[in-house]
Structures are given as C-alpha cells and as structure tokens.
Structure 1
Amino acid sequence: MEDAGEAARTAAGLDDVLLDVKLSVPELPPRLVSRAPLIEAARNSGAPSVGITAPAGYGKSTLLAQWAEAEDRPVGWVSLDRLDDDSSALLVLLASAYARAVPDQQGVVADVSGLGVSPLGRAAPHLAAALSRSPEPFVLMVDDLHELHSSACHDVLSVVIAGVPAGSQLVSASRVEQPHLARLRASGAVLDVLGPDLALDVTGAEQIFTAAQVPLTRDQAMVVTERTEGWAAGLHLAAMIARDTRQDVSSISGDDRYVADYLYRESLSHQDEATQRFLRRTAVLDRLCGSLCDALSGDTDGQDRLLALEGSNSFLLPLDRRREWYRYHPLYREFLLGELRRVEPEVVAKLHLRAADWFEANESSAMALEHLLNTSERDRCVQIATQLVLPTYSAGQMSTVRRWLSVLGDSAIEEHPPLAVLAAWMDVLGGDPLGAQRWAAVAEAAEYDWVPMDGTASFESARA
C-alpha cells in the first residue's frame, strides 16, 4: 500500500510539473530581434482579442514571450499541445492561467472542472463571467492554438473571449486560421497580426547574422531578406548555412537540407498524402488558381484546396482580395519542387505540358511558352516563340526574349528560319553585330515556303 501511495504521489507530482511547464512563459534566448513596435501597437489597440496567425517559423511564440516580458499587467500563459484538444481540458488550462495571473481568483479552477460540468453550458460561461469581474486588467496568452481541431474547443474559446473586460486582452497564436476571430472582426473587437506583419526587415536580418557571428554586408542582408521575404526561420537557417558551409548567403534555397528538413518537419509532414501530392505538383506554377490546379491534377477541387491551404498558412500567399490567385513563398516552392523531383520525377514534364495547355486555352501564350520550355515539345515552343518575340521586345522585355532564345538553343532556331530572322533582329537591337551576322547568314541560306507566324507577310520580306 505504501508503494502504491508513493507512486500516486509521484504521478501527481509529475502532473504538477507538466502543468507548470504549460502555464509558464518560455525563457527567451539572448540577442533576439526586438518585436517592440508590434507589441506596443497590439497593447495600445484596445482590442480585447489579438490573433497572431502565420506559418511556422515567423516568430509567433517569440513575439508572445517578448510581450509577456514587457507587460506591466498580470500575464497568464498557456502552451497548448495535441493532448489539449478537449473542451474541458482547455477550460481548466485557461482558468489555471488566469488564476496564476490574478492569484485571488484561485477558486475559478474548481468551478470549471469536475464530473458532470458541461463545458459549453456551464463552465465556459462561468469562466467568462469570472474574467469580466476581474479586479484588475490582465493579459491571457494562448500559444499553439493550431493544436486544437475540435469545434467544441473553438466554441468554448468564443464564449470565454466574450468575457474579456475593457483594459484586458486575450492573445492567441496559431499556424492556421483562428475560427473564433471571424465574428469578432465584424465588431472590430480583434487585432490581426499576420505573416507580413511578422516579416523581418534588413535590420532584423543583420541582427540574426550578428548573433550567429556570421559577417554580413548591407547588400548581402538586402539579398537574403528578399530571398526569405523576411521569414525569421529562413534567416536563421541562412545564417547557419553560411556559418557551416561558408557559402554566399544569397544562394540560400528551399532545397538546401537545413531548409528542406525544417519545412518538411514543420509543414509538409502535417498534411495528408493527397494534400502533399497537390502541393508538390502545383509547385511547378508561378501563380495558382483553382481551375489551373484542376488542369494539373485532373480533379475538380482545386479552389477548395487553395482556400484550405490559405487557412492553414501553408506558405501560400493570396495575390488578390477575391481569393482567386495565389503563390507559394519562394523558398517553400523550391522545397516543394525538390520534393517533386525526388518523389515523382516522371510527372514533371507532364505537369508543365498540362499547364501550357491551360494557359494557351486561356489566351496567355507567354505563360504557355514558359511551361513548354520545360518539356521536349520544341516545335510547339518555336511556333509560340516566333509569335511572341516582336511584341515582347516592343513591350521592352528584351531580357525575356533573350532568355527564351537561349533556352530554345541554336539548333532549334536554325531549324526554323523565321525565328533565325528574329534572332538576328534581337542581336542588332541588342548591340551584338557578330551574333546578328551569324543569324543573318543562317536566314540567307535557308528556304521557307510557309506563311511566318511572326506577323510578317512572308519569310522573304522578313529576311530582306
């Protein structure tokens, strides 16, 4: 009996330790990039609810911890994990955090727990009432809200937030859209802090590299900040890569093993196989919309998948307010393309061909050509390029024309005389007389009896 009693006391002690960890503000490592401007803006907003929503690695937890450290109001903290996806457990955690922040409110924990206590019918309204009568303003911080998937948990959270009084705030951080915020936005009771708000600037990048003891010029800082789009984890990884490999920081890419390992562990591995396949295959696209994704996949749920990925903050960025067009974060796209080449190399050319078909059917020949250049469809590439070279040059996009001709290669140009004429023109206009003479000689020696697709009346007139 004594052994059993000792085991019970040990288990209870361990539970207390684990609870203490979940309710304690994490210690901040030294020399972090300060988030003071964001914190002050959130504190002074007057919003009873602050929602911090961004993909992994944007510094959400760091922002919360810095805020807690700087806050002069009592702070209650909750770190959630997958085992907390239970409305009763959530209520106990929220009540415990509030009781820690305002010690004379210890009784609220017992009031929301116990057998037979309805979470939504009794416990949540009771906690909301207790918060509304708080003897002093407080801040309640909830980290990793994305661990909660049940609708009951989010219903409970909505009820509890309704009790947050003026001068107090409930701050929640999540990788995915926070359902309880939608209604609050309509009444102006929420301040949203999103990925772009958390993106670091050049000064932040310099601070990260300084902390890692990696030299960084201002120009390099600008390049690496642009490459990562201010993604905090990406900048930390770039500093590690530069330190360990001594390579130029501007060469950081999504398929570097440090970056790829992080993105796989923190993002891709959390998706089901169908979503992983969707992400990999649509990574061949610079811009995505529902029908274009359907053309690649052969399915009809592209728009729904895009909306779901946007809500889950899977590094998918909207390009318009209609939620029609999107793009991936560049490092994430490079990571996904690496995964595609590793897992399904045989489908890469097929995906580009399907994308080209969609763009051509939707009267975007330039985008069709961009995808066709990644296939073996050289005849089709040549035909479209011949149509586009002059109008693209006239639009001032000489570098685009040069890139097209370079990817097509000399042999493809030589086999299509009208394109050789256009290549000669481009070299004349680009100040390359030797190149112009070479292509002029090819055109002079060629025979072509069909009507050119470049808009000229005949090959003879164009050559002349």
Structure 2
Amino acid sequence: MESIAGYPTASNIPIVAKSMPPAQRLWGKPRERIMHLLDRSRRQRFTFLNAPAGYGKTTALADWFYSLTNAGEKAAWFAIDRRDRDSKCFWLNFHYAICTALGIDFVKSLGAVQSMARNEAILTMANEMSLSARKCGGLFIVIEGLDVIYGFETLEELLTLMLALSGNVHIILSSRVAFTKHSFPGFTIPDVALNIDYSMLALTKQEMLEYLLDAGVEQVEEPDLNLLHDKTQGWPAGTAIVMDSVDAGVSFKEAVANLSGTDPRLNEFFEFEVFSGLSQEEKDFLLKTASLGMISTRVAGYTLGDVDVDTVISSLHRRNAFFFPIDANSGEYELHPLFSQWVMKKAQILSSHEQRLLNARASRWCLRNGLATAAAKHKILASEREDIFNLVRVAYPNMTTAELMSITMFRRDIDIKELSPCFYLLAAWAYAYSAQLDELDFWLKPLHELPDELVDERLRLSLEVIKVKELCLASKFDDGIEKAHQVESHLAGKD
C-alpha cells in the first residue's frame, strides 16, 4: 500500500489553519445550555453534532474548545474541507493537529510512520493517541465537516482510526448531514453515542433575548421578540440578519417585521448553502410541494403521482435541508418558515397550470383525510387566486396583501375555530370556482351563523354574490339571475 508520506516534499507541509479553531469571541458569551450539553461528551467516545448551516455549530464548538484548553485539558481541532477527500492530504493535516494538541514533535512523529503502509500507520497513530490520552487524563478531538468526505476513502480510514481508539479519547463530529452511529455501512460503532441536532442548537426565546441585549438592542418588546422567534424558529443566522439591519440603523421592530425568506441576503444563503447541493429530484420535490403546509409520504405521493417520495423525504431529512419533522412519530414534515417562503418564490418558475393541478390534487387528498382547513388552503391556491383575493378585498378593504397571503399560507393545519371570517370567505369563493357545492356549503355555513353585529355591509354583499354563483352552479339559472338582479343595485359603481 502507498505510504502516508509517499508524495513530493512540498506536500509534507501541513496547513496550520486547519488545526486552529476560530478566534475567541470578542463580545457576547458562550451559551451556557449548549456548553453543558457538549460537556456530556466527556461520558461518550463519540458525539455527533448535526444541524443545517447557520445553527451555530462552529461557534458553539469553538466556545467549548476554549473552555477545555483554558482549563488545561488536551483538545485538538480539525476542520475538514474538500481537499481532505484526498486521504493523503487529510492524514498529513490531521496528524499535525493531533501532534499540536499533545505537544509532540510533528516532524519526528511523521518520520516514524513514513515507511508504513496506510492502515499500519493509522493503527500506530491510534495507539499513540490512546496512550497519550491515558497519561493526560483524556483527549478531546473536534472534527468539523464530516459530511464533506462522506462517500470517499478518507471516511472509511477515519472510521478505522476511531474504532481503534481507547475510551479516553473523545471525538466530536460536526456535520450538516444528520449522521448517527448507524450511518456508516460496514462499521459498527460501539457504545452509546451522543447526538446533538438542530432542535437543541436552536435559540430559546430567552437566549434570543439575551443575545439581543448583549448586542446592544435597547428596547425589545415582547410581541416583536415572539414574532422573531416564530419567523426564525430559533435559527441563529436569522437573528443575526435582523441584527445586521439594526446595526444599519433600522429599528428592531421594523427589522423583525421586514424579515422574510425573500431577503436578498437569505436568497444567496439558501441558494448556495442549501438548494444547490441537492439532487435534481430533491429540488423538483421541494418546488412541487412548496405550497403544502405539511409534507408527508401520503399527501406528497398523492399530489405528485409517480415519485418515490419515501426516498426523497428521507434524503431531505438526512441532509438537514431545513426540512424538519413536525412530530418524530407522525411521519409529517415541514420546511423552516423562511426557507419555505424562499422555496415558494422559486416555485413560481412552475407554470400556473402545473401549480393549480398540484394544489387541486392536494386539496382532494386533504378533504378525504379530514384536514378541512388544509383542503381549503390548497383549493384557494388551485383556483383563480387573484380573482378570489380581489373579491375578498371588497369585504375587507383595509387588508394588506401580506395579511391576505398569511391567512392562506399558514404552515400547518389549525383549529377551525381559530379561523377568521376572511378565511371562510376565501374558502367559499375557492369552492364556488371549482363547483364543489358540498364543500361550498361547509364553508358558507359559519359565515351565515355569524352574529349580526359582526356582519357589515361589505361582508353581507360578498355573501350575496357567492349565493349568485352557488345558484348558477346548481343549474338554478333562473333563480341565480333573479338573485343577481337583486344584488346588482347594491354593486352599482363598485368593482
């Protein structure tokens, strides 16, 4: 086999920066909850830290790394990049990182294994690390970017090293992909591994408040904080974008209100950090299910037809493509709110006919499965939406487009009792357009049961117009025309 040092002398120069964590932060303080969480790795040989980009993996690990070294403990840092897909490059730099952490002469250590075959050199390194760890009371090794070498020979060699180490060596593996101890065919990782995922790294509302106050935001009103947490779901990068706006002179309230998935800064992030790394099948799946409030195998399968949705959903979840389970046991998923907005905008590249067809199929599935509000949302999206929105504006003239859209774009099914009269009106119009009279009656009934004090002239008029449509759909054209004449006088001069 090829030796570790069997390449030109110039290649024997390690890249020092790969063994250096980011500089210690100059402001703010480590998140105590996350530090305690990482401290649990002392009891495990292997820790998997998995989360999408922007969840603060590197920051948390750097804070923890400095807490170890400041306390006099032995810790090594190694950042994987694409060059490490070449195993010769990986082992040269990894060897340097370990020697630096243990205070070993790198040149002398490298020379000792130069004539060895690769596997022999790896096992020799594992033995030296285990012996050194026992002497110093433990060795912590942080390896960033495990997903970069997934599928390459380097990963198999690293796993060989890991399995040859003693329990005094603790390895923390950071990745954007959701790896666990069972993710590596052919390798049985013993013991219990610690798994830390995006949900644990997400900022709690209290942590978000502390972060804002540390950053110098003087007035943080609770409604604005709640809105920021709802929009970001605790995603640290989303909070950082709001802080960028505040630093540029925008008020915190306005910065939070303006935060959306269509922000140019997020556009670049989602495009290059998330979307571009997906397969074409995964991209098509996200675009074609963009308007689904909840994604599951059944609803996506019915909506998309002949697509292996099980495989695609599993892959998106494993990739941490901002594609999260609503309930671990339900098999139902949703996109992160900001990513969902970004995908919906990108989905506009689909033809309007294709979008309507997909939503019509989703609406039928939801109706058959008792998800009334989700069915209404998809029916709205499947219908001539602009016409429906314009008609509703007659009843609610002060409603902004953003407010109108938010009513139909909620992320999951909600309690029907919580719906506004405007949503009922939207749903009624959508089913009137599609001539589904039974469902039209379902959505008109709550409107007709509203107390008189809640029914103003505009809403009453809208109901009258829908009644005209309903009579015509039921082939009662004479009654419809008569009703239309009754309404016409009230509509004079109006759109």
TM > 0.5 between the two? yes
Tell me if structure 1 keeps the 8 A contact 2:427–2:443. no
Match of 1:274 in 2: 281
- 1:142-191 Cα shifts (integer Å, max 9, x gaps): 11222112253332222222344344311111100236565899854321
Change (3 A) 1:423 1:296: closer
Partner of 2:157: 156
The 2-side partners of 1:56 and 1:410 are apart by 39
Counterpart position of 2:127: 129
Give, in whole Å, the separation in 1 of the partners of 2:463 and 2:141. 74
Identical residues among aligned pairs (%): 19
The whole-number CA distance in structure 2 between the counterparts of 1:421 and 1:343 is: 32
Provide the rounded CA distance (Å) in 2 between the counterparts of 1:198 and 1:159.
Answer: 29
For residues 210-238 of structure 1, what are the alpha-carbon distances to aligned partners after superposition, in whole Å with 9 as ceiling and x for unaligned?
A: 46555541412232122101101111012
Aligned to 1:201: 204
SS of the residue corresponding to residue 192 of structure 1 reads strand
Confirm or deny that 1:222 pairs with 2:226: yes
Give the 3 Å change call, closer, same or farther, for CA 442–185 of structure 1 in structure 2.
Answer: same
CA contact (8 A) 1:420 1:442 kept: no
- Counterpart CA distance in 2 for 1:54 and 1:447 is 50
Q: Aligned runs of 1:329-340 on 2, under 5 Å?
A: 329-340=336-347
Partner AA of 1:403 in structure 2: F
Deviation at 1:405, TM superposition (A): 1.1
In 2, distance between residues paired with 1:278 and 1:77?
37
**Deviation at residue 332 of structure 1 after TM alignment:** 1.0
Question: Structure 2 CA distance, aligned partners of 1:421 and 1:180?
Answer: 54
Which residue matches 2:242?
Answer: 238
- Structure 1 pair 336–110 and aligned structure 2 pair: CA distance change class (3 A): farther
**What do residues 368-394 of structure 1 show as CA deviations (whole Å, max 9, x unaligned)?**
22201112279xx9xxxxxxxxxxxxx
Taking the aligned partners of 1:269 and 1:396, their CA distance within structure 2 comes to 38
Q: Does 1:49 align with 2:52?
A: no
Q: Cα gap change, 1:128/1:410 in structure 2, threshold over 3 Å: closer, same or farther?
A: closer
Within-5 A mapping of 1:158-197? 158-178=159-179, 180=181, 182=183, 187-197=190-200
Alignment partner of 1:355 out of 356, 362, 379 = 362
Give 5+ residue unaligned stretches, structure 2.
1-7, 389-414, 475-495
Specify which of 302, 306, 312 is matched with residue 305 of structure 1. Answer: 312
Matched ranges for 1:17-416 at <5 A: 19-45=15-41, 46-71=43-68, 72=71, 73-104=73-104, 106=106, 107-111=108-112, 117-118=117-118, 121-134=119-132, 135-136=135-136, 137-178=138-179, 180=181, 182=183, 187-210=190-213, 213-219=216-222, 220-244=224-248, 246=250, 247-322=254-329, 324-342=331-349, 347-362=354-369, 364-376=371-383, 397=417, 399-400=419-420, 402-406=422-426, 408-409=428-429
CA distance in 1, matches of 2:466, 2:278: 54
Cα deviation for residue 426 of structure 1 reads 3.1
Residue 170 of structure 2 aligns with an amino acid whose one-letter code is Q
Q: In the alignment, is the contact (CA less than 8 A) between 1:47 and 1:190 conserved in 2?
A: yes
Change (3 A) 1:447 1:64: closer
For the 8 Å contact 2:281–2:312, the answer to whether it is kept is: no
Q: Could you tell which deviates more after superposition, 343-352 or 39-48?
A: 343-352
* Partner-residue secondary structure (3-state), 1:403: helix
Q: Find out whether 1:422 has 2:425 as its counterpart.
A: no
1:163 and 1:418, CA in 2 relative to 1: closer, same or farther beyond 3 A? Answer: closer
C-alpha distance in structure 1 between counterparts of 2:351 and 2:164, whole Å:
51
Q: Aligned residue for 2:5?
A: none
- Does the CA-based 8 Å contact 2:297-2:309 persist in structure 1? yes
Deviations along 1:325-371, whole A, 9 cap, x unmatched? 21111111111111112566663323212322333454544422220
Q: How has the CA–CA distance of structure 1 residues 133 and 429 changed in structure 2, closer, same or farther, with 3 Å as cutoff? A: farther
TM-score (structure 2 length as normaliser) = 0.73
Closer/same/farther in 2, CA of residues 33 and 357 from structure 1, 3 Å limit: farther
Q: Do the aligned residues in 1 keep the contact of 2:163 with 2:189 (CA within 8 Å)? A: no
User: Any residues of structure 2 matched to 1:434-453 within 5 Å, and which?
Assistant: none
**TM-score normalised according to structure 1 size:** 0.78
Q: Which amino acid aligns with 1:43?
A: D
After superposing the two structures, state which structure 1 stretch, 82-91 or 326-335, moved more: 82-91
Distance 1:103 1:174 in 2: 27
Alpha-carbon distance between aligned partners in 1 of 2:469 and 2:156, rounded to the nearest angstrom: 75
- When structure 1 is superposed on structure 2, of 213-222 and 295-304 the one drifting more is 213-222
Alignment CA distance shift 1:404-1:283 (3 Å): same
Q: CA deviation at 1:443?
A: 10
In structure 1, the gaps of 5 or more residues are 1-7, 382-394, 452-464
